[in-house]
C-alpha cells in the first residue's frame, strides 16, 4: 500500500502548497498541477457537481502519481467518509464541523477498531488491492495514513475549538471564511478581514497547543505568504476556476489594449 505523501511532508515540517479543484473534472488536471509544482489538489464535492465516480478516477491517478488528493465531501458523515476512503482518498477536508461531538463522529468513521468504527471494504482501491500484509497490518497502516482536516464555519464551532483540537483522529484545523463570515454577520463589512484573521489566529493557537496542523485558504500570493510565515502548514492557493479566470481576463485586456 502506498503511503500518504501529504501526511509525510507535514511530519517532516514541510509546508504543503495546493489549490482547490472546483471546475475541472478530468483526472489529467492532477498531472498538470503536479508538473506546475503544487504539492496537492483539493477536490470540492460540497459546492460542485463532482460525482463519486469522478473522485474514484482522480484518486486512482493521484495514487499512481504519488500526488496527494484531498476531498471535501458534501457532508462530513460516516456514509461519505467511508465511500471516499474506500475509493482511495487518504485526505479528508470535512465541512461544517460545529461541535466536539461531530468531530468525534468524523474521527471514528475514519479509523478502524479499536481506534474508531471505520467499515471494512476489504480488497479495494483503498488498499491498492494489496493483499501482501495481514488484515490487521493493512488496517493499522491505513489508520496511520488517513489525514483528517475539520472546517470550523460557525461561531458555535469555536466554543468547542480546544476540545476539537485535542481530539485523537483529528489531524488539522481550518476555518471556512465565507460561511463563517455569514454566520458572524460580517460579510461585506469593513471589519470582515480583521475578524477572520482573529479567528485564524485562534485556530493556529489551538493547533499549536495540541500539536496539530493548520490549513488555510488563501486568495492571493501575499495572503499565502502571510499565513505561511505565521506557521500554517497547508495552504490552498485560490482555485482552478479563479486562476483561469484571472489569467484569461488579464490576457484579453492586454491583447485588446492598443500599443
The torsion angles phi and psi of 72, rounded to 5 degrees, stand at -95, 115
Closest CA to 128 of 59, 194, 178: 59
98 is written with which cell numbers? 460545529
> Residue 236 region, left (φ>0) first, then alpha (ψ -120 to 50), else beta?
beta
Per-residue pLDDT for 124 more than 90?
no
Indicate the pairing of strand 234-239 with strand 16-21.
parallel
Contact by Cβ (8 Å): 53, 43: no
pTM: 0.96
Does residue 259 surpass a pLDDT of 70?
A: no
Average pLDDT of the residues in 16-36: 98
pLDDT digits (tens, 9 = 90+) for 145-169: 999 999 999 999 999 999 999 999 9
Q: Above pLDDT 70, what percent of the chain? A: 100
The pLDDT of residue 204:
98
What pLDDT score was predicted for residue 50? 97
User: What is the pLDDT averaged over residues 208-236?
Assistant: 98
Residue 63 in this model has a pLDDT that exceeds 80? yes
Which parts of 12-51 fold into alpha helices (H)? 28-35
Domains of the chain: 5-256 (3.20.20.60)
Task: Give the burial string for 137-157 (b: 16+ CB within 10 Å, else e).
Answer: ebbeebbebbbbbbbbbbeeb
Amino acid at each position: 500500500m502506498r503511503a500518504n505523501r501529504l501526511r509525510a511532508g507535514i511530519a517532516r515540517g514541510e509546508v504543503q502548497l495546493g489549490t482547490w479543484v472546483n471546475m475541472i473534472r478530468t483526472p489529467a488536471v492532477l498531472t498538470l498541477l503536479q508538473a506546475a509544482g503544487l504539492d496537492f489538489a483539493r477536490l470540492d464535492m460540497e459546492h460542485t457537481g463532482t460525482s463519486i465516480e469522478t473522485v474514484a478516477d482522480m484518486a486512482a491517478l493521484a495514487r499512481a502519481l504519488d500526488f496527494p488528493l484531498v476531498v471535501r465531501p458534501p457532508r462530513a458523515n460516516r456514509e461519505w467518509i467511508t465511500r471516499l476512503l474506500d475509493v482511495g482518498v487518504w485526505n479528508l477536508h470535512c465541512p461544517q464541523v460545529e461541535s466536539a461531538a461531530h468531530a468525534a463522529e468524523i474521527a471514528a468513521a475514519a479509523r478502524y477498531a479499536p481506534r474508531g468504527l471505520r467499515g471494512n471494504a476489504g480488497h479495494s482501491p483503498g488498499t491498492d488491492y494489496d493483499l501482501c500484509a495481514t488484515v490487521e497490518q493493512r488496517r493499522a497502516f491505513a489508520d496511520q495514513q488517513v489525514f483528517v482536516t475539520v472546517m470550523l464555519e460557525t461561531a458555535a464551532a469555536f466554543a468547542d475549538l480546544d476540545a476539537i483540537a485535542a481530539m485523537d483522529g483529528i489531524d488539522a484545523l481550518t476555518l471556512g471564511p465565507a460561511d463563517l463570515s455569514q454566520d458572524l454577520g460580517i460579510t461585506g463589512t469593513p471589519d470582515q478581514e480583521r475578524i477572520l484573521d482573529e479567528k485564524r489566529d485562534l485556530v493556529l493557537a489551538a493547533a499549536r497547543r495540541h500539536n496539530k496542523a493548520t490549513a488555510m485558504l488563501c486568495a492571493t500570493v501575499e495572503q499565502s505568504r502571510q499565513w505561511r510565515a505565521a506557521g500554517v502548514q497547508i495552504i490552498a492557493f485560490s482555485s482552478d476556476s479563479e486562476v483561469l479566470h484571472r489569467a484569461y481576463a488579464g490576457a484579453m485586456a492586454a491583447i485588446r489594449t492598443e500599443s
